Every structure is written in structure tokens, then in C-alpha cells.
Homo-oligomer: A and B are copies of this chain.
Amino acid sequence: MGDGVTDGRFHLNRRRLLAGGAVAVAAGATLSHSGIAQSAVPAEAVDRAVEPFHGWHQAGVATSPQAHALFIAVDLEPQPHRGPQETLAAVLRLWTSDAERLTQGTPALADTEPELAQRPARLTVTVGVGPRLFDRIGLGNRRPQAVADPPAFATDRLEPQWCGGDLLLQICADDPITVAHTSRVLLKNVRGMTRQRWRQKGFRQAAGSGAHSMRNLMGQVDGTANIVDEAGFDRHVWDDGDDQPWFAGGTTLVLRRIRAEMDTWDELDRTSKELSVGRRFDSGAPLTGSREDDVPDFDAAEGGIPVIPPNAHIALARPHSDDERFLRRPYNYDDAPPAGRITDSGLIFAAYQRDPAVQFTPVQRRLAAADALNEWITTIGSATFAILPGVEPGGYLGQTLLS
């Protein structure tokens, strides 16, 4: 820039500017909900809609899935004058401060693009801690037993660039600009203390589309028969603190990156696709029903042949006991393909539960062994995170772990 342009002729009163923005947003912020998934918000309110930040649980789990998600894993960087536990506390305090403002439509402290904060669009910021971090910060004895990577599955083809991570930032909103600005603020404020390991960007149907379950890019209705009520969340999702009292109100996320082998999938006829999934593609109904929420009849047969094949995806993925239920909150991905391929897309499969070893893992073991879909899907990434308990005003995320 030329000289003379920084002489301050247009000193705005920053404090006033930010306060004004906050008031405008608060006036427009009429939509919120508490803990249970809801249907899509009226779309004229998309940009001003707010999700609560404080509470017993973090938002972004029971929250009705927003249209856009960004999952970012970072590793802690060694600091010259600070131990890893102090570094972690510093990161979590900063993220708490930023998230409690940004999610409510208020710019972060020292937000350099404050106007981008004024359309929260149901923004949630959800923070998790990877299983190996507990030892690294000298708190191995406080790791909940449930927070452990699932075993290797025969069908996994894990690529290190999509695995692991000390910390997870899950940023969801109905507006992609909100997601971009939030990630920028959260990451730059901890620069030097963290290094990005991977990021995965996902999407569902746009807000206001009125859709219930989403469709994935293979064309399936995805997310039928999910956990929706408070009792179900308490039973299957939220930790009760029995193992580690500090973790009460948290949950364990298993995040899997599942590539869709679209080229071979597209060669399959529709009947074979529906038999491999066990559902119709038009309605999402099970092959034994006519509506998406009809309960599949796995015993139904025609001429001695099961209507839903025993190796159909839903036959193996369904809970074989009530213990095996968990919350699925998946997002599609569609990235630039490597040279010579035309598509690189699939599913960011996010499963939230009390204990993967008794919920996710047995289901995935069955799927790995026999799922008819395995020929067209490949798990290429896997990461596990303790989604920290929620926080009340004045506290910070992870406080019960670190204090």
C-alpha cells in the first residue's frame, strides 16, 4: 500500500461496531432447540438461526444436521516454555471463547472479519480429544475406556492422511461462508500450538429442502431408523460418568471416511443395488415395505428365498441387540479426484455412542465380514475422539478433564 493510507481518518469504534452486530443478531435469533433432532428450519431464517452453545452436552451431536460440515484434526505442537497439558488447556480455552461467541452470531474477540460472524446459520462447534492424547498430556489414567480406536477390520484400506489426530474440531452450519470463517478464526488463534493433520469437508441437502433423511451420492436414503429421542440419547449416546466422572455428558465419536467406488457401482443394475442395500432407492423403504420408516421384515421370504438377502447392508447393519444402536450423523464428500479418475466421493460416516466396543465395533465386524455393499465401498480413514462434555457459562471445554 502507498504511504498516507494508514493515518486513521476512518477510526471506527470497534467496540461499538461489534456490540451493534451482536444486538442485531440477537434480535433475529429466534430459532433454537435443546438436545433433540428437529426438522429443517424455515429457510428464510437460515442465516440468522442460532443453536445454543452452553449446556450439559456439546451441540453438534443431537443437533439436527446442518447442510455443511468441516471436520479438522490437529496435533498439539511441543512448546518451548509450556507442557502439553498447559498447551491443551490454552487451546481449549481459546476455542471455548471463540465458539461461544461465533455460534451466537457474535464476532470472536479480535475477529478480523467480524461481519462474517453475523450469519451463524445454526453454527455448532464441537470439540473432541483423541485417545493417544491422554498419555501425551500425562493423564493416561483419565482416558475413558470407551475412547479407543476400533480394531482393524478386514475390509479397511486405511490411508494415514485420513487417520488419527490429537484434537478434533467439528464445525457445522447451514452456510458454507460461516463454516469457512469459523475454521479460520479457530485455527489461527491456536497457530503455533497446533498443526493440522487432516480436514474433511462434507455436505448434506441444503437447508430448506424439507428433506428428512439425506441421500448419499450412491443414491441411497441414508439415516433411517436413527436415534431421535432424549431417552435414546441417554441410553446410547451420552456418557454417564460411571467410568470417568469428568466425562459425564460427553460421547465417543468414531469418524470413518468411506470411499464410494462409483465407477463399478454405476455398472450395477438397480435391482442388484436394491438387493445389496435391502432398501428401495426411490422411497428408501425396506424391500419388505412401502415407506421409509416401515420396519424391515428380515424373515419374509418368497419361494423360500429371503426378500431381504441375509448379506444385504441393512440386514447386517441393524442392531442385533438394543446395545448396538448408535447415532449416525453422516455427510457426503465430493473432492477433486486424482489424475485419471473422474470422481472422488463418498461418505464421512460419523457415529456417536457411549462405547464403540459394544456399539459400533460389533456392527462393523458383521459388515466387514459379509456386507454385500463392500464391493463398492472402502473405508480409507478412521479416527476416534472423546467428544468433551458440554460447558456452562464461565467454564471451558475440557475443564473437568484438566482440573
10 closest A-B pairs by CB: A43-B43, A113-B219, A43-B208, A47-B209, A176-B203, A180-B334, A5-B275, A175-B206, A112-B266, A1-B372
**Do A206 and B113 form a contact, CB below 8 Å, given A184-B345, A217-B180?**
no
In the complex the two chains form, is A5's CB within 8 Å of B372's CB?
A: yes
Say yes or no: A184 contacts B115, CB within 8 Å: no
A291 CB, min distance to chain B CBs, angstroms: 15
Question: Does A27 sit within 8 A of B, measured CB to CB?
Answer: no
Residues of B within 8 A of A11 (CB): 271
In the docked arrangement, what's the CA distance between A384 and B8, Å? Answer: 40
Q: Are B307 and A188 in contact (CB under 8 A)?
A: no
* Contact flags A169-209 to B (C-beta < 8 A → 1, else 0): 00000111101110110011001000110110101111111
- The interface residues of chain B lying within 8 Å CB-to-CB of A210 are 44, 47
> Chain A interface residue count: which class?
35 or more
Spell out A's residues near B (CB within 8 Å). 1-2, 4-12, 14, 17, 42-44, 46-47, 67-68, 112-116, 119, 121, 174-177, 179-181, 183-184, 187-188, 191, 195-196, 198-199, 201, 203-211, 214-215, 217-219, 262-263, 265-266, 268-272, 274-276, 280-282, 287, 302, 305, 307, 309, 311-312, 332, 334, 336-337, 339-340, 342-343, 345, 372, 375
With A8-B271, A276-B5, A282-B115 already in contact, the answer to whether A208 and B44 are too (CB < 8 A) is yes
CB-CB under 8 A from A345, the residues of chain B are 180, 184
Identical copies in the complex: 2
In the complex, A312 Cα to B5 Cα: how many Å?
A: 9
In the bound complex, CA of A336 to CA of B74 (Å):
13
| Chain B residues whose CB sits within 8 angstroms of the CB of A198 once the complex forms | 336
Residues of B within 8 A of A9 (CB): 271, 275, 302, 305, 307
Beta-carbon nearest neighbor of A195 in chain B? B340
A115 touches B281 (CB 8 A): yes
